[in-house]
Amino acid sequence: MATRIDPFREIERVFQEATRTAGSTVFPIDVYRQGEQFVVKVDLPGVDAETIDVDVEDRTLTIRAERKRPEGGEDFEWLTSERSFGTYARQLTLGPTLAVDRIEADYADGVLTLTIPVAEEAKPRKIQVTASKAPRVIEADGERDD
């Protein structure tokens, strides 16, 4: 059985590791609207839930998480390491129509799900129209005609 050799694979991996700085690891996200809320799905496989930090400051949502490199024992030797480890961080700017005080977060199966409701004042609403009586006519001499 022939093994396919890609001579650029190792060069690309080394280049990616060399150009990556601490805190620069980005994780993929999906954002969509579902009814009266926005949902953000964040892939964080292998991350301990205790290391996830989500906060909002001045309408900027910041998500941080850490995936630690496994510690080896006395007879441990890395043969290859392609998975990224370290601190992950991502920021999203939230619009004024979102209720940032009611954000909910859930982490299951390596996916962080944030639910961000639309603010009450931003939801569409019906305005009731009432019929008023016919306008009164005021004559030039100041007397009303009722």
- pLDDT in tens for each of the 146 residues of the chain? 555 655 555 556 555 555 554 444 678 899 999 998 999 999 999 899 999 999 999 889 999 999 988 887 788 888 888 888 888 899 999 888 889 999 999 999 999 999 999 887 766 778 888 888 777 777 776 555 55
The two structure tokens encoding residue 92: 């999203």
Q: How many residues does the chain have?
A: 146
Q: What are φ and ψ of residue 50, in 5° steps? A: -65, -20
